[in-house]
Chains A and B, each alone.
Chain A
């Protein structure tokens, strides 16, 4: 009971998250001719010079490293269209959020690819020359990352004992991985201290000190009653339990 779930078992390492991201499909323009590749992870090609083709990111990077292709920048990583709009709206939302921090406004994340951090990192590392305005795009993505992470952090503060489910629409894989230990342990701690068993135990010990003689009756009642209590309503539980007691004693 005391042990938290082992963090090493359940958490992906950053390189594992990157491994998963490498299966995302990107578009390349090869400069060589190559037969179709029938791989375990799928069939790709055939490839012809100057004709765009869709391949997983790892394959694109491997070809790029050998100078056999250029990688087309995904739409969301280009400055003129979606990215800038996303960036601006994130900024706007951010300002809005800070202003409105006291009220519980829905803190939405902008839709971005699930693996946007990993994809952009891999592309910047290996295909920098294929990205137009690489410098600007890079700083924009870093800004977006910061703003989004700040949102996650403020989101963490709103978790309370009554939180049984958290919805994180559009949160990306790497962000999930970073926030996972905090999130899980917080929710777990709240859940544990709100659980009926915990309340029941403290209830029992208090009672056993106060009314030792009449304990036999009380004990049977409290646990069976507590099963139906909503976790998170500690006060309600102890009130009801004691009212049942007074009935049984009278």
Chain B
């Protein structure tokens, strides 16, 4: 990625941050995470900011209880707190589900691992280790040589009799070819959907499209497009 693009996306991110609250940003992250087939980058600063606000409000609510503020006001603040808590929990749980599902795939790739938070990395690592150990003990150790790998069906299955390369990998991977619903936030302009430039779509602001996730991945990461 060139520095120009970096500046551009940073500026876009800054504009988005100025325009909306942290809850709004978390909600967007939650929706994107829900709709995208693969795991997205974890926004640690955002999550810690939301955590702080939650903690602050919890303390304020305790104070309210002591100082005898109107019940109605307390219940409204409580609702606000509950909504934010739900959002945060749902977001974190969703990521854990994805990690659990694709743990082998994620722990193989440095890029994917770097998208996780430290706690999530620990979780992925211990999860993978436990799974490998379990498979090893229960099945794989009893299989003959060549068939005892966690990641391959068998050593010989990488090539069949004809010499055609078939990578029979049995690790679940997210399907990036899938189609997603997305909404543009600003004009993107003519956007190339595949590598050869045959399919070009003009992405206009605030429009709804169904596109292949792989082709708009970059736009999701730079925050120009929202998944819904």
Contact with A along B56-87 (1 / 0, CB 8 A): 01000000000000101101110111011010
* With known contacts A58-B83, A164-B193, A41–B34 Cβ distance under 8 A: no
Chain B residues with CB under 8 A of A180: 181
Q: A41-B23, A41-B84, A183-B179 are in contact. Are A12 and B79 (CB under 8 A)?
A: no
Q: Is B35 part of the contact surface with A, judged by Cβ < 8 Å?
A: yes
Q: Known contacts being A20-B31, A168-B208, is A62 close to B79, with CB within 8 Å?
A: yes
The contact of B207 among A37, A63, A169, by CB within 8 Å, is: A169
> Among A94-102, A126-134, A170-178, which stretch is in contact with chain B?
A170-178
Is A19 among interface residues, defined by CB-CB distance under 8 A?
yes
- Whether A19 and B79, one on each chain, are in contact in the complex, defined by CB atoms closer than 8 angstroms, is no
The proximity string for A residues 152-192 relative to B, scoring 1 for CB distances below 8 Å and 0 otherwise, is 00000000000011111111010010001001100110011
**Would you give the shortest CB distance from B158 to chain A, in whole angstroms?**
16
Contact A20 B177 (CB under 8 A): no
User: Which chain A positions have C-beta within 8 A of B80?
Assistant: 37, 39-41
* Interface contact B210-A188, CB-CB below 8 Å: no
- Inter-chain residue pair count (beta carbon < 8 A): 130
Q: Pick from B3-11, B138-146, B147-155, B194-202 the stretch touching chain A.
A: B194-202
CB distance from B153 to the nearest CB of A (A): 13
Interface residues on A, range: 35 or more
Which residues does chain B contribute within 8 Å of A63, judged by CB atoms?
76
Contacts of B201 in A (CB 8 A): 165, 167
Which residue of chain A has the shortest Cβ distance to B179 in the bound complex?
A187
Give the A-binding residues of B (Cβ under 8 A): 21-24, 27, 31, 34-37, 50, 53-54, 57, 70, 72-73, 75-77, 79-81, 83-84, 86, 90, 94, 97-98, 101, 162-164, 172, 174-175, 177-181, 193-194, 196, 198-199, 201, 207-212, 228
Q: What are some 27 contacts across the A-B interface (CB < 8 A)?
A: A5-B37, A9-B34, A9-B97, A19-B86, A34-B72, A37-B76, A37-B80, A39-B57, A39-B76, A40-B23, A40-B53, A40-B84, A58-B79, A59-B76, A59-B79, A62-B79, A68-B72, A165-B199, A165-B211, A168-B208, A168-B210, A169-B208, A184-B179, A187-B179, A219-B162, A219-B164, A230-B194
Residues of A in contact with B (beta carbons under 8 Å apart): 3-6, 9-12, 16, 19-20, 22-23, 34-35, 37, 39-42, 58-59, 62-63, 66, 68, 164-171, 173, 176, 180, 183-184, 187-188, 191-192, 195, 204, 208, 215, 219, 228, 230-231
